[in-house]
Chains A and B, each alone.
Chain A
Amino acid sequence: MQQPPAVFGLGNVLLHDDAFGPQVISELRSRWIIADEVVVEDIGTPGLELSTFLAGHERIILVDAVAGGGPPGTIHSYDRDAIVRHPTGIRLGPHDPSLGETLLTLQLMDDGPREVLLLGAVPASTEPGIGLCEPVRVAASRVADMIIEMLRSEGCRVEARANPVQRIAWWETSTEFEAFRVAGNAVPD
């Protein structure tokens, strides 16, 4: 069996719907127990460190807000070729090696994923503020379901939690997190 893909959420939780990636990771953690060998991580806004996270993985699933077409919450998917097809902007400054640039740099180092799936949702707002709009929240649940389906179809061990508490995103309210813990769930790390 080939290695299962690693799942990474990208996004800034302080900028409304840019928290889509972290929200999907939060859903995955709160609704399922996923086998330890699958890396599932909210990597936030790693900047240059993105390459550190992606190095060493043959296959990855990334979740991020995307400037694609359609109304907020529209889900788009892209493969590696689509991500690297467009050149990145002029290198005026540093800390934003784009996803495409990172993948290509890793390729130049003979490292990094050959198989990439980016699952993205169109945001309504990426202005400063906490919380996702409803369509993006719904999209996060759907994308989490899609990822679970993919992992299962590859034979990964995924178990639904007995007491799932949804929307326990850590950056939103501590009370929901508390409810999740009190309900008898192990606290996700």
Chain B
Amino acid sequence: MSRVVVDPVTRIEGHLRIDVQVDGGQVSKAWAASTMWRGIERILVGRDPRDAWVFTQRFCGVCTTVHAMASVRAVEDAIKLEIPLNAQHIRNMIIIAHALHDHIVHFYHLSALDWVDVTQVPNANPATTSALAESLSPWEGNSKMEMKRVQDRINNFIAGGQLGPFAQGYWGHPAMKLPPDVNLLAVSHYLQALEYQRYPNQIVAMLGGKTPHIQNVAVGGVSTAVNPDSMGALNIDRLFQMKTLLDKVARFIQEVYFNDVCAVAAFYPEWFGYGAGVKNFLSVPDLPTDTTNTKFDFPGGTIRNADFKTYKPITGPRDEYFRKGVTEDSTHSYYKGGGGLHPWKGETEPEYREWEDDGKYSWVKAPRFEGTPMEVGPLANVLCAFAAGDPLVKKWATRALETVGAIAKKKVGPEVLFSTLGRHAARAIRAAVLSELAVKHWQMLVDNITKGDLEIYNPPTFPSGTVEGMGFHEAPRGTLSHWVVIDNGKIKNYQAVVPTTWNASPRDDKGVAGPYETALLHNPIADAERPLEVLRTIHSFDPCMACACHVFDPNGNQTAKVKVV
């Protein structure tokens, strides 16, 4: 029996630590821990609720917009403030563009190299690689010439004695199983994705003023001036620039990213059998199409025990099923107190001590839904929308399963989605669906503006006495909710229940493990010194992290270490 500690899982910051106990070549016990305190909730107490979104965006340097959205929604909910339709559409465009950026980057740059072996590229045949790619899509970047060009460059790096940007990785690991051609295809698209991930980010910056950390939301709407004829406002010219960028990224997602995920998945069928996790799923509806948050373009709800028949919808932010269902437990977290508290009653009093396997070991609390750990993220989102019968999700999910089946030459059903690879597939399905919805929401915004509606903001007023609000958002990493208590116009309590808190949750008062911890059980570990399989399952969730200290080390010292103890 050995114990493997991966700390940090994220490369330079180390806010996530995973401990696994390995017995007979597979994981028998796992712990997920966050090694850093967030603390922003404490900073917010006593402040003006109109400012909260500026602070909460600073939870993270990557996934920033989501905390602005959830925060303004929470305050608007507390004072029952409607927002103008333009504001809703502009927020939706930012939400979609941010999600498309996240999903592309997550697959290619943050997790593909867990599956793709760059050292196999020289053995590929550019002609057959191109033929495989062209059988899947009409993308022009799949030509034999393009594949040859990428292969030559990789060969040049190798001839020079190094692998360029891929100098270190788990190359040649026994769990790497893609044929050389698929490796070449994935590496080619990895490079193309570096270009395409910029486009949705540019849309976020055009609407948000900048990214990361957009500047254009406000409690009551947005501050993006809208005027089809004004140089200084969101005008027709800029809207069409955005459309051009959207069209480009939509094609990349539908013709490249989606097929790559299917191709990689088809060659790792065993990973449809690992990493299922807690099998309870939570997502919330998003992309509201009215001013009062009652109609949504992406449904949400819950599924229990991996059974589609248990699907129960969450109809909107006023739905008591969600509002009453969420608690956070700190029995195993570095906070005072123990058992589950509703977020409006939530406490964030730190109580740090050394790591204890059976005691407190994480700065993350344990969120529970009606007492149960829930997985959140694209998989939860897609499963719930599938169960709800959403036509776009059904279309793309069916296409994904058919594409995997065609490459793997066997029939696969939706049950394979409850797995490590299922999370990647679901993220690709969600990206494809959102790429279609992007164009729809862009059109809704244009139609509303050209009809003459230029409203963007309804000013908030705060009542005397105490009001409570909740804002949720189906963020790229899953269900996010901000909970605020406002007393005489000042914040009295603020709690954010973020996606990675749901997924990286430690055990709760009943000793029940969270989604990461459960998903790691029975994962194979071929080589404890190189725990690639642990990273595969953890990365499939798209774990989040905060911002970084950037110190260049000329000696190339590793800042992250895998410890085997």
Contacts and interface: CB of A to CB of B under 8 A. Distances in A.
A80 to B, nearest CB: 13
Contacts of B165: 88, 97, 101-102, 104-105, 108
B359 interface: no
Given A78-B554, A86-B556, A94-B109, A107 B164 contact: yes
Given A65-B551, A87-B168, A92 B562 contact: yes
Interface string A78-94: 10001101111111111
Given A47-B61, A67-B553, A109-B191, A95 B548 contact: yes
Contacts of B556: 85-89, 100
A52 B198 contact: yes
A18 B12 contact: no
B369 interface: no
Contacts of A10: 550, 552
Given A52-B198, A108-B164, A45 B548 contact: yes
B549 A126 contact: yes
B552 A65 contact: yes
Contacts of A86: 554-556
A30 interface: no
A47 B548 contact: yes
Contacts of A108: 150, 153-154, 157, 164-165, 191
Nearest to A122: B551
B8 to A, nearest CB: 7
B552 A120 contact: yes
Contacts of B169: 90-91
A92 B551 contact: no
Contacts of A85: 556
A97 B554 CA distance: 15
Interface string B529-565: 0000001000100010101111111111111101000
A90 B170 contact: yes
Contacts of A104: 157, 164-165, 167
Contacts of B535: 92
B6 interface: yes
Given A47-B62, A96-B11, A90 B168 contact: yes
A48 B105 contact: yes
A11 interface: yes
A63 to B, nearest CB: 10
Nearest to B539: A93
Contact of B560 (A51, A65, A92, A101): A92
A66 interface: yes
Contacts of A95: 10-12, 62, 110, 545, 548
A64 interface: yes
Nearest to B534: A92
**Contact size range, A:** 35 or more
A94 B146 CA distance: 26
Nearest to A50: B550
Contacts of A123: 551
Contacts, number: 147
Given A94-B10, A97-B165, A48 B550 contact: no
B65 to A, nearest CB: 15
Contacts of A91: 11, 113, 168-169
Interface in B85-105: 105
A93 B11 contact: yes
B162 interface: yes
Contact of B547 (A12, A64, A90, A92): A12
A60 to B, nearest CB: 14
B17 to A, nearest CB: 11
A118 B549 CA distance: 17
Among B62, B194, B539, the most chain A Cβ lie within 10 Å of the Cβ of: B194
Interface string A104-126: 11011110000000101001001
A2 B226 CA distance: 42
Residue of A64, A92, A96, A126 with most partner-chain B CB within 10 A? A92
B66 interface: no
A67 B550 contact: no
Interface string B16-41: 10000000000000000000000000
B522 to A, nearest CB: 22
A76 interface: yes
Contacts of A93: 8-11, 16, 110, 539, 543, 545, 560
A15 B547 CA distance: 11
B552 A51 contact: no
Given A94-B109, A95-B545, A108-B164, A18 B551 contact: yes
A180 to B, nearest CB: 22
A156 B34 CA distance: 49
A61 interface: no
Contact of B559 (A66, A78, A89, A101): A89
Contacts of B548: 12, 45, 47, 95-96
A105 B560 CA distance: 21
Contacts of A48: 105, 109, 197
24 contacts: A18-B549, A18-B551, A45-B547, A45-B548, A48-B105, A49-B201, A67-B557, A68-B554, A86-B554, A88-B556, A89-B11, A90-B170, A91-B168, A94-B11, A94-B110, A95-B11, A96-B10, A104-B157, A105-B165, A107-B153, A108-B191, A109-B194, A120-B552, A126-B551
Given A68-B554, A98-B552, A104-B167, 5 more contacts: A45-B61, A49-B201, A104-B157, A105-B165, A118-B552
**Nearest 4 A-B pairs (CB), nearest first?**
A86-B556, A87-B167, A94-B110, A93-B10
